[in-house]
Each structure stands twice: as structure tokens, then as C-alpha cells.
Structure 1
Amino acid sequence: MRLGTRPSPLAMTQARTIARELERVDDGLRVEIVPIATSGDLHQGVGDLVALGGKGAFAKEIDRALMDGEIDAAVHCAKDLPGDVPRPEGSVIAACLEREDVSDIALFTEDGGVRGLDGLGAGARVGTSSVRRHAQLVQRYPGLRIEPVRGNVDTRLAKLDRGDYAAIVLARVGLRRLGIERPHERLDIVPAIGAGVLVVECRAGDGAMVEPVALLDHAPTRWRLTAERTLLSVLRGHCHTPIAGHARLSGDELELRAAVFSGDGRRAISASRVAPVSGAERLGEVVGGELIAQGARELIAEA
């Protein structure tokens, strides 16, 4: 199996983990990891992600390689898949791996003595690449300067350490996968849709590849991701839309809570509902509809 992934250290680490799992569940399978540079990777730190095509900039070259038969399967972070355009026709998400930590954390310099955003002085620069994080941080910390920062994890940490920022905000799971431990504060903000979930995509008709990949599928995670991504699709969310959404599982029921923010973070609307796991898709539709009824379309259009 040729397994396509982005070439960043984090993406390669994730792909190696999945490759080992595939070879474990199918003893006769051997996996070759194929790094594929995407538009988002080639322009890390340069310009606005929106100008590169949004979150799809981290997936479209890999999608093309899959559909052209250059690779047999593709690894994606679910949160990097846009909701305003469908996945490529003829592709299928063959596995949703078990969800990991969904939290966002603020990181500080190791010798600065600060361990929380509340400890930063007025006007301190806090870097984040996410409009979802930006909107929620502006609400909670109006005295801080929330500014864009791009690049892979190592690049962002280097910018923090040389003093470009007083803090940066990243996904906890990315640092854990890389084995990086730094002083940090876990933030109480609504997670990204698809946070903490890796998916493996194959060509729908390629049973020889779909079958072993499907052995890694984690049904509870798929239910949760279905509700979240249906919500995103209903809202037609993309990379410059401050949308947050998270589905929790309790027994055989899902609770989906979601929020949409204005670009400046000063206005927010929210909704939440509970439904059986069998109704995960309908749950996403209902919560999305409630947000639209409250004015989500107007906030999204402004963003």
C-alpha cells in the first residue's frame, strides 16, 4: 500500500503510526509512505491561507494523487478538510481512527515564568493560525493582541522562543504526537470540528485497500465526526469562518454543541442538541439549522 501524506514532521509521524497499525492488523500488508507537498506546505508562513484555497490547500494535491492512482490511501487530519466543498467523487473515508485529545493549549517560553494567558501584560502578542481560536481568545482576553502565525510546529515554536510572541496557541494532540513537552495552559474554548481525528481515505472501488484500512475504523469516533462534519457542511464552513463544534458520546447518545463567531470575535451564537448515535447526520443538520435561524449565515458572510 502506498500511503500518501503531507511531508511535515507531524504528518509523517502520524502516517508512520497508521502504517504500523495497518501492518499489525493485516500481517501480509506492507506500507510505503509517500510524502506529497501540498500548496499549504509550499507556502507555509507566506501570505494568507485563504488566498491559497483555505483548508483545502492541505489536501488537494493528495486528493489528486489518490484519484489518479499514484497512491492507494491518504492520511488527513479531519480538521483540515473543508466543509464548503464535497470530498472528491469516488473517494471514501475508509477509517476514522479513535479520537485523541481535542484541546487547544497556549504555550509560553520555557524560562519566562508565565504559565497562563491571564499572566500576560496588556498588548502582549499571542499567535494563532486559527480564526476559531482568534474569535474565542478575543472574547476572553480583550487586552491581548491576537495575531496570525503560520508554519509547522517547529517553526512556530522557534518564533515563540525568539520573542516574536509572548505565547502561541496550538493543538495539544500535535505536540503529544511529536513527543514535545512545553509549559502550557489548557484553554477552555470550543474545539475545532474534527479535532483530534485522523482519517484514511481510499478510492471507493478499491476493495483490496479499503478492507484492511477499514479494520482501523473506530465507530464511536465516526459517529461523532459525522455529526460535526454534517454541521460544517450545512453551514458551508471554510478556513476563514470562525466555527467551532464538538460532539460528545454518552452511552448511545451524542451531544453536539457548536458556535459561530463574528470575524472580530465580539458576537457569537451557539446551539446544542442530543440525539441517538443512529441519528448522527440528522443531529448535525438540526444544530446547523438552529445556528442559521439565529443568524449564522450573516456572521459567515461577514467573515
Structure 2
Amino acid sequence: MTSSVSAEARTIRIGSRKSQLALVQTHWVRDRLQESYPDRKFEIHTMSTQGDKILDVALAKIGDKGLFTKELEVGMLAGETDFAVHSLKDLPTNLPEGLMLGCVTERENPADALVVHEKHKDKQLETLPEGAVVGTSSLRRLAQLRHHYPHLEFKDIRGNLNTRLAKLDEGNYDAIILAVAGLQRLGMGDRIHQAIPAEVSLHAVGQGALGIECREGDTEILELLKAIEDVPTTQRCLAERAFLRSLEGGCQVPIGVNTSIEGDRLTLTGMVASIDGQQLVKDTVSGNTADAETLGVTLANRLREQGATEILEVIFREIAR
């Protein structure tokens, strides 16, 4: 009897990055779990990741295997924390041995957002003047926007969300591209000048959703996480992650997706583009939601037939330089 009481009373330790957005997301997860389990105690442990510390190098140049996740994963494997909250788009598709994706939460709007300097408040992405400087740290956004708007100039931008907005407002950029979900979660939805349509910019794999990573076989934690799991978002993200994994692409490669579910039918669109935007291959598959991961693999194979492998090989060589 005593052992079951002590097990129920165990404090659940949640790992999180220290950034403002990461903490907002982690507090949201903790609060939802606290509502579902009022008798349990949840504690947040924060740490800085490599991606938080290196701010003067383009993300693609650092490499992305666990760029924003490795330190959190070490903490879980060492038993210091029980699970970690990630922006799912930052979580690699191949996880370290002993860890698993335990839960995916309901997705916010996964679209990319155009945020403009005050002087361009009457413009949209398609009406920005020739030579306008657009800031983005994402090769995926860069490749697609170069493909559609070759007359614009693109410049790398790093730092947390507030830092990027400050650089924009100071006039270093005419516009910057951020995630709609991140701005909304931080209460900055009023800065979204335009949600960029999927026809122009397919979003990142997992964008807008939170991924909870935990130890494999930790039945207690997996049971707790069911309270915040969203099944349709999970199905969509499993398809997207299988697509990315099959192409052997990472978070920093120009691979974009879009998914939707109607009834039990899942539709997945994916694209691969060269960094200069000159080459872009894109296709769509549909099938049963129960076959989400198979659909992702099928779409990856289709894009390979259209030249995706060759495009990615060139990109990996460019990044490695």
C-alpha cells in the first residue's frame, strides 16, 4: 500500500529550454496536466541548448542533430527530468536510443507569417518593392520565397523572437518571416501582417504543434500525457515526420509540408527546393489516417522520382562547405 501512495505522490519533472517561447509552451503543458491531475505535482526544470547559445552562425551551418534538444535529452536519460516539451519542428525525426515521442498536442496555425517594418504596412509579400530586404533563418522559407519572389533580397536573422522584431523595427530589414503559432503563443498576434498561403510557403514539419519527448517504456508518463494528446494533429505530424525521415532531411533543409484531414482521409503535400529557389519539386498524396506514416514514405518516394535526392545532395554539399 505504501509503495502505491509514494508512486502517486512522485513529483513529475518537466524539461524546457529557457527561451520565452519555450517557457510559455512548457507552462501551457504543465497547466493542462495540472488541470487533469490536480493531486499531482509538476515542476519545470530549464536549461540552455546549443541552439540557444550559438547566435552568430546560420542554423544550417551549425548542423541540426539535436540543436535545440540534446541537453534536454541528456537530462531525461540521466533521470533528472521525466519528459521535455519541444516545438515539434525542432525535434529530430530520429531520436536517441531510449527516448520516444510520447505525445503531440493540438496544433496552432502552422503557417509562416510576414511581419513588416512600419514603412511597408500597406504592402503584402507580393507587393514588397524590388530589393526589399527580408530576414529569415530558415532555408525552407528562403528557398520557397526565392522561387516565388526572385526580386527580393534575403538576409539571415538569428536571435529570439523579441530580438528579431527589434532588428526589424530598427530598420535592419524591410520585413521578416516568423511562425504564426509562435507570435500567437506570445500574445503578439497583432504583429502578423500576413499569414503566408501554403501555395507560396509550405510550413516546416511539425510546425505549430508541441512534441513531448519521454523515456521509452515509461508507462506512468505515457498515461499522464494522454490528457493533452490530440489525435488528428498526431496523425498529421506522423505523416510529415515520416516524409522528412524518408528524405533524410533535417530541420534546416528546404523541405516543406502541408496536411489536412477530412473524416478518416489524410492529405499530405510536400516539397523540396534548392536554396536558390531555381528548382522546386512538389506533390500530394491522400489515404487513410491509419496509414499516416506510410503516406509520408510514399510521398518521399514520389519526390525522389522527380529529382529530390539530387537537389538535397547539392544542398548538403553547400552546407558542409
Aligned to 1:18: 29
Within 2, Cα distance between the matches of 1:173 and 1:113? 21
Give structure 1 regions of 4+ aligned residues with deviation exceeding 4 angstroms.
none
- The answer to whether the aligner puts 1:222 opposite 2:234 as a matched pair is yes
What TM-score, normalized by structure 2, do the two folds share? 0.90
- The answer to whether the aligner puts 1:54 opposite 2:64 as a matched pair is yes
The answer to whether the 8 Å contact 1:13/1:177 transfers is yes
Within 1, Cα distance between the matches of 2:251 and 2:105? 23
Deviation at 1:140, TM superposition (A): 1.6
- The answer to whether the aligner puts 1:64 opposite 2:37 as a matched pair is no
Within 1, Cα distance between the matches of 2:102 and 2:250? 23
Deviation at 1:115, TM superposition (A): 3.5
Aligned to 1:184: 193
Within 2, Cα distance between the matches of 1:69 and 1:237? 30
- The answer to whether the aligner puts 1:270 opposite 2:279 as a matched pair is no
The answer to whether the 8 Å contact 2:60/2:253 transfers is no
1:148-297 to structure 2, matched below 5 A, reads 148-180=156-188, 181-182=190-191, 184-188=193-197, 189-297=201-309
DSSP-derived class of the 1:34 partner: strand
The answer to whether the 8 Å contact 2:274/2:280 transfers is yes
Residue from 130, 133, 138 that aligns with 1:125: 133
Cα 1:55–1:127, aligned 2, differ >3 Å: closer, same or farther? farther
Aligned to 1:3: 14
Letter in 2 for 1:292: R
Residue from 101, 104, 119 that aligns with 2:109: 101
The answer to whether the 8 Å contact 2:15/2:81 transfers is yes
What TM-score, normalized by structure 1, do the two folds share? 0.95
DSSP-derived class of the 1:278 partner: helix
What percent of counterpart residues are identical? 39
Aligned to 1:38: 49
The answer to whether the 8 Å contact 2:134/2:153 transfers is yes
Measured on the aligned residues, the alpha-carbon RMSD in Å equals: 1.4
Deviation at 1:210, TM superposition (A): 2.0
Cα 1:107–1:293, aligned 2, differ >3 Å: closer, same or farther? same
Aligned to 1:73: 83
Cα 1:25–1:183, aligned 2, differ >3 Å: closer, same or farther? closer
Within 1, Cα distance between the matches of 2:34 and 2:252? 38
After superposition, give the CA deviation of every residue in 1:126-145 in whole Å (9 maximum; x if it has no partner): 00111111011111211110
The answer to whether the 8 Å contact 2:88/2:210 transfers is yes
The answer to whether the 8 Å contact 1:39/1:52 transfers is no
The answer to whether the 8 Å contact 1:55/1:80 transfers is no
Equivalenced residue count is: 300
The answer to whether the 8 Å contact 2:110/2:179 transfers is yes
Within 2, Cα distance between the matches of 1:62 and 1:6? 8
**The structure with more radius of gyration:** 2
Which segments of 5 or more consecutive residues in structure 1 lack a partner in the other structure?
none
The answer to whether the 8 Å contact 2:133/2:173 transfers is yes
Deviation at 1:240, TM superposition (A): 3.7
Aligned to 2:142: 134
